[in-house]
Structures are given as structure tokens and as C-alpha cells.
Structure 1
Amino acid sequence: MKKLLSLALGILTAIGGFVDIGDLVVNAQVGARFDLSMGLVVAVGVLGICVFAEMSGRVAVCSKRPTFDLVRERLGPRMGLLNLVASLIVTALTFVAEIGGVALALALISSVNPLLIVPLVGLMVWLVLWRAKFSLMENVLGLLGLALIVFAVALWKLGPDWGDLGHQMFTAAKPGDETWTTYAYYAVALFGAAMTPYEVFFFSSGGVEEGWEEKDLSTMRANVFVGFPLGGLLSLAIAGCASTLFGPLGVDVASLSQVALPVGVALGKIGLAVVLVGFVAATFGAACETGLSTGYSLGQYFGWQWGKYVKPGGATRFHLVLVVATFLAVGILMTGVDPILVTEASVVGSAVALPLTYFPILVVANDKDYMGEHINGPLANALGTVYLVLVVLAAVAALPLLVITGMGS
């Protein structure tokens, strides 16, 4: 049982990183509009985040320090500051969207206006970040987030043509009424969502919080190679459900209630209740993950005491960042901004920030002074180099595609 619970960090990271409010909607949108023709993009993204999360976790194990801390030390304050600013903007935007996503999910349950729920959600998130133990947070939210597996059950129950879905997965084809620029925009968005920068920073910081040692390398790798592929499979299941139900009808997905509809059609009220639990757990877990990441990045760059393993009185500036970030997120949402649009914008911003995140990780993972005998091997370096090329291409293409397609509309 203890070994199973040790996988909870990877599960929480996967649920929070792959299946947050933006991905819940974007994967359904892509499935409804493009079927599973972007399934390979998800697979490529999963492999990429596995490569760099494993490096990041290995750095944390070997150095007992989080990746962001070492980036500043190894590459200097200027490169570290670029990394800080880029990742902090994306993480802060995502934090706003996740708090809004929790409110949207609770609104589906209660029928209360989401704006009335936002302040309560902000308070709940802050209380968890302030008082809850890290292990309790990851175990409860990570495991409850597994309720989203109901999408896989619903897909099976909907009875799609499995041969057709498999063909779509390996065919980069678009419907006749879509343009290739729109197709490319969503491909870059899915890739950016899979490799969001805060995922690796949260993962390595979480390893330090849990006191990983060299003997925990196998547990760390199990977290990576179970958690992230699980998130990818959930993404494909959401897209598959939308493709099966909405694709033939030409329906465009624009709300969280539409994302849940295929589960309700396939499994009735029980399935709907389970998916709503998954929505709340996944978005709340993502809110905690991104909220902590704002504090992690600032604390580690400036050398403050940080972390949930430290009592609030011993990490005052870290906890002040969490308070300010939560307050600002709630304030932004109270203006009536759409959390889904905020997340889609953050996904594009994530694609732009990818090179600044992953190049430093690759450098540190090859530094023998930090890594000792656990420096990157030939396979890790080859995959890391290939993905650096891909993230640079995604970063260059992201903003032009955003403008040309009007955010995929």
C-alpha cells in the first residue's frame, strides 16, 4: 500500500498537468472538430514531459535541491530571471483559470452562479496550501482525480468504431471545413498543454518536499512513467468521447457541461456524478499545483525559505506569495473573465516559454558536479535534443498561429 501511495505525486502531477480546466475543454473541442487525428500530438507531448520530468526529478534526488534553484546557480541570474518571468506569467494565468475551473465544476453541481462560488474556492485553495500536509494533498486530490477514468468507460459504452478511431490516431487528416492553420494552432496548443513548464518545477519541488533520496530513484521514475501517460490516456479518452458523440452532429464544444455530456449519455446519472467528482478534484488539484508553483519559483530564485514542509512562520515570504497570488486570481475572476479563455491563452504562452524551461534542465542534468554518476545518458540526451528542437518550433509558431486563426475560431 505504501508503494502505491508513493505514486500519488505522479498521479497528482498528471491530473493537474494534463487534465485541468483548459485541457478538459480543449481536448473535447479537438475531438469534436478533428476526431482523434491529433492523438499523436498528445503521445509526443507525453513522451516529452516524461523525458524532462525524469531529468528534473533526478536532479532533485541527486542534489536535494529543486530544478529552479539550480538553473539560477548554473546559468546565472539573467538566464534564471528570463526563466522566472516566462514561467511565472504562464503559471499565474493557469492558476487564475484553475480556480475558475473549480467554480465552474461546482456550479454544475449546485446551479449557483460561478461568480458567487469563486471567493469560496479561493479561500479553500489557500487553506489547503497553508495548512494541509503535502502528502495529504497529493493522496486525496490525486486519487479522487482518477474518477476521470469514467471517460474511458464512457467511450467503451458509446461503442465507437475502434478501427476508425485507431486509423484517425495515425493519420494527420483534417475535416474539409477546417484549415491547416487552425489544425496547426490546436496541435501547438495540445503540445504546449502537455509540456506546461510548471509541471517539471512542481515535480522536482515536490520531490524535495518529500525528501527523495538516491534509493527513491525508482519511485520517482514510476511516478513519471505511470502518472504522465495516465494523464495522456485520459486526454485521449475525453477527445474520443467528444469525437464519437459530437463529431457526427457537427457540434462545437464550448462549455464544461458539454464536456460531461458524453459520460451522461453513456452511463446516466451515476456516470455524471462520478465525472463531476473528477472535474472538481482535477481542477482543485491543478489549482493547488499551480498555486504552489508560483511560490516555488519565486522562493527558489530569490533564495527564500520555501515549501509546505516548513511551518508558515518559517517561510513567511513563500506563504505571502501564495496569499497574494490567490487574492489576485480571485479578483481577476470576479471581473467576469472566462476561465476557459484564460487557460487557452496560458497554453499558448506555455508553448512560447518552453525553450526557456527545458534548455536549462538539459544543461543541469549533464553537469557532473550536481549529478555525479547520474548524469544524462546517450538516450536521455538524444531525446532531450530532439524535444528542444520541437519546443523551439512550437514557440516560434505559437503567437503567429494565435493571431492568424483568432485563437482557433
Structure 2
Amino acid sequence: MKRLLGVALGVLTAIGGFLDIGDLVTNAVVGSRFGLSLAWVVVVGVVGICLFAQMSGRVAAVSGRATFEIIRERLGARAAGANLAASFAINILTLTAEVGGIALALQLASSVDPRLWMPVAALAVWLVLWRVKFSIMENVTGLLGLTLVVFAVALFQLGPDWGELAQQATTLAPSGTETWPSYWYYAIALFGAAMTPYEVFFFSSGAVEERWTAKDVGQSRINVLVGFPFGGVLSIAIAACAAVVFLPRAIEVSSLSQIVLPVALAGGKLALAVVIVGIVAATFGAALETSLSSGYTLAQFMGWSWGKFRRPAQAARFHLTMIVALLVGLSILMTSVDPVKVTEISVVFSAIALPLTYLPILVVANDPEYMGTHVNGRATNALALVYLVIIVAASAAAIPLMIATGAGA
């Protein structure tokens, strides 16, 4: 039973990471423009985040120490500082998108302007972080987020041409009037949405929060292999729903209401209510994760007391960091910036920052001083090196493609 309940951490990370506002928006946009021709990127992303998170979780479980604490000690303050700067900036950008996503989902349910919901959403996130225990937080948001399986149900209810979807998935090229630069730009965006750095910092720091030890390495592996592939399947379902409803009509998804439209068409008001609950839960869970990750990264780097297992008075700077991160994100949103646009930019910049976060974990996972007999095996290292090449290539190509395509326009 304990092992079964422990999977909740992996499920929350998948729902809040794979199925945050970034994944919802990016997959729906890609589905409406490219069909399932980029579904292979989701598969590559699933394998990559499983590898990344498994190494991070193993490092935390075996060493019993926080990720950034080890990175600073192993690589030095300068290298760890570059990692921190990139990670913290991406966390803030992603947190902004998640709070905006909560507000947009609540707008669907109430027709109230999202700018009125944004302060409410930020306050609710802070209250949960301040008062709710880690285990309750992860279980509640994880279970509610599972309602996003309605996208998979809706896909079957829409009665698509499965042969056409299969042909799209096996045609690894842009369709219609789309260009190769746009195709690769959105490939990088999907990859960044799958391998957002905060997912790993939350997962590994959560292992410390739950006091994992070397005996829990197997538990870590189960969490990874259950959570992330589940998120990947639902990601493809979101893209497929958009491909069925919007691609034949040449309509590009540009709002949250369009993302949920296929579900409403397939299941009516009840299905719409379920998907709104799922989106609120997923974006709320992701907002919790990104807020916590902001506190985790800075506190671990600076050597401050941190963790939800400590009372706010015992980890004041950790909690203050999260409050400041939420206020910064809310301030950005109140300038009337489009949360969907923030989301699209955040996933691309996640891909840009990946080498700075992936390489240190790979180095530590191979250091016997920290890992003992739990260092990476040959097969893991071979796959890790392949992904290092992919990550560096995606990071290097992201900015030129963003410029060439006008951010995918």
C-alpha cells in the first residue's frame, strides 16, 4: 500500500509537468496545424524526462541531499550559479503561465474576466503552499488532474478516421502550407514542454521531502515509469482531438476555449465541466510545483533551510522566495499579456535552458563519491549521452528558429 501511494508523487509530476498549461496549449496548437506528424516528439520527450527524472530521483534518494546543494558542491559556485539563473528564470516564466492558465480555466467556468481571477489564483496557490501538507497537496491535485483522461475518451467519442490519424503519425513532415522551419520550431516547443526543468527539481526535492533513501530507488523508478508515460499518452490525445476537429477546417488553436471544444463536442456540458476541473487541477498543481521549485533551487543553492516539512518560521527565506515568485508572475500577468503567448514562449525557453540543468545531473549521477554503487550503468549512460546531443541541438536551434518563424507564426 505504501508503494502504491508513493506513485502519487510521480502522477502529480506527470499531471503538473507533462499536462500543465504548456503541454495543453502546445499539443493543441500542434494538433491543429500539423496533425499527429509531431507525435514522435512526445515519445522522445517521454523517454527523455523519464531518464532525467530517474537520475535526479536516484541522486536524491541515495545521497539524501538536495539537487542544487550537490551541484554547487560538485561543480562549484560559478557553474551552479549559471544553472540556478537559467532554472529560476524558467521557473518564473512557467509559473506566470500556470497562474494565467488557472485564471483562463476559471473564466471558462464563470465567464468572469481572467484578470479578476489572476489575483485569486495566486492567493490560492500561496495559501496551499503555506498551510497544506506536502502529501495532501500532491494527492489531491494528482487525483483531480486525472480527470484530463476525458481527452482520451473524447477522442473515441468523436469517431475519427483512425487510418488518417495513423498516417499523420507516420508522416514525419509538415503538411499543407506549413514549412520545415515551423515544423522544427514546434518540435522543439513540444520537447521543451515535455522536459521542463522544474519537473525534475520538484521530483528530486519531493524525494527529500518524503525522506527517500537508497531503499526507495525502486520506488523512484516506479513513479517515473507510471507518471510520465501516462502524461505522454494524454498529450497525444489532446493533439489528436485538435487534429480531428480543427485541422480539416484549417483553424489554428489560439485560446483555451478552443482547446476544450473537442471535449464539449464529444461529451456535452458534463464532459466540459470535467475537463475544466481537470485543467484547473493540472495548472494549479503545476503552479504549486513551479512555486516550490523556485524556493527549492534558490534555498538549496544558498544553503538556506527549506522544505514543506518545515514550518514557515523555520524556513522563512524559502517561503519568502515562493511569495516573491508568485508576485512577480502576477505582476507580469496584470500587464494584460496573453497567458497563451507566455506559455508558448516558456516551453521554447525551457528547451534552451535544458543543457544547463541536464548536464550537472548527469555528472553527479556518475560520481561514486555521491552515488556509491548506484552510479549510472552503461546502458543508462549510453542513452543519456544520446539525449545530451539532442538537448544541445534543440537548445542551439531554438533561437534561430524562433527568429526565422516569428515564434511559430
**TM-score of the superposition, structure 2-length normalised?**
0.99
Q: Which residue does the alignment assign to 1:221?
A: 221
Q: Which range moves more in the overlay, 324-333 or 86-95?
A: 324-333
SS of residue matched to 2:83: helix
Q: Which residue does the alignment assign to 2:155?
A: 155
Q: Deviations over 1:344-380 (max 9, x none)?
A: 1111111111111111111000000110111000111
CA distance in 2, matches of 1:162, 1:216: 41
Residues 1:85 and 2:81 aligned together: no
CA distance in 2, matches of 1:69, 1:229: 29
Count residues with an aligned counterpart. 409
Contact 2:18 2:193 in 1 (8 A): yes
SS of residue matched to 1:185: helix
Query: What amino acid is the match of 1:338?
Result: D
Alignment of 1:157-172 (within 5 A): 157-172=157-172
Alignment of 1:5-404 (within 5 A): 5-404=5-404
CA distance in 2, matches of 1:256, 1:391: 29
What is the CA-CA distance between 1:207 and the residue it aligns to? Answer: 0.4
What is the CA-CA distance between 1:331 and the residue it aligns to? Answer: 1.5
Query: What amino acid is the match of 1:272?
Result: L
CA distance in 2, matches of 1:321, 1:220: 27
What is the CA-CA distance between 1:170 and the residue it aligns to? Answer: 2.5
What is the CA-CA distance between 1:172 and the residue it aligns to? Answer: 0.4
Structure 1 runs of 4+ aligned residues shifted over 3 Å read none
Q: Deviations over 1:137-179 (max 9, x none)?
A: 1000011000000000000111112232223222202112011
CA distance in 1, matches of 2:313, 2:403: 46
What is the CA-CA distance between 1:283 and the residue it aligns to? Answer: 0.4
SS of residue matched to 1:408: coil
Contact 2:134 2:309 in 1 (8 A): yes
Query: What amino acid is the match of 1:296?
Result: Y
Identity rate, percent: 63
Query: What amino acid is the match of 1:213?
Result: T
SS of residue matched to 2:246: helix
What is the CA-CA distance between 1:270 and the residue it aligns to? Answer: 1.1
CA distance in 2, matches of 1:15, 1:128: 18
Contact 2:173 2:183 in 1 (8 A): no
Query: What amino acid is the match of 1:184?
Result: W
CA distance in 2, matches of 1:148, 1:207: 25
Query: What amino acid is the match of 1:115?
Result: R
Q: Deviations over 1:248-298 (max 9, x none)?
A: 111110000100000011111111111010010000000000000000000
Unaligned runs of 5+ residues in structure 2 are none
CA distance in 2, matches of 1:354, 1:83: 9
Query: What amino acid is the match of 1:221?
Result: R
What is the CA-CA distance between 1:21 and the residue it aligns to? Answer: 1.3
What is the CA-CA distance between 1:212 and the residue it aligns to? Answer: 0.7
CA distance in 2, matches of 1:355, 1:26: 21
CA distance in 1, matches of 2:52, 2:333: 32
SS of residue matched to 1:142: helix
Query: What amino acid is the match of 1:56?
Result: S
What is the CA-CA distance between 1:52 and the residue it aligns to? Answer: 1.1
CA distance in 2, matches of 1:261, 1:176: 23
What is the CA-CA distance between 1:97 and the residue it aligns to? Answer: 0.8
Query: What amino acid is the match of 2:386?
Result: V
Query: What amino acid is the match of 2:74?
Result: R
Contact 2:25 2:343 in 1 (8 A): no
CA distance in 1, matches of 2:217, 2:165: 37
Contact 2:38 2:169 in 1 (8 A): yes
Unaligned runs of 5+ residues in structure 1 are none
SS of residue matched to 1:7: helix
What is the CA-CA distance between 1:66 and the residue it aligns to? Answer: 2.0
CA distance in 2, matches of 1:52, 1:114: 35
SS of residue matched to 1:165: helix
Query: What amino acid is the match of 1:199?
Result: E
CA distance in 2, matches of 1:118, 1:338: 12
CA distance in 1, matches of 2:402, 2:95: 21
Query: What amino acid is the match of 1:299?
Result: A
SS of residue matched to 2:254: coil
What is the CA-CA distance between 1:343 and the residue it aligns to? Answer: 1.6
CA distance in 1, matches of 2:263, 2:343: 23
Query: What amino acid is the match of 1:164?
Result: E
Q: Which range moves more in the overlay, 188-197 or 2-11?
A: 2-11
Query: What amino acid is the match of 1:67?
Result: T
What is the CA-CA distance between 1:14 and the residue it aligns to? Answer: 0.6
SS of residue matched to 1:254: coil
**TM-score of the superposition, structure 1-length normalised?**
0.99
CA distance in 2, matches of 1:20, 1:161: 28
SS of residue matched to 1:104: helix
CA distance in 2, matches of 1:4, 1:268: 34
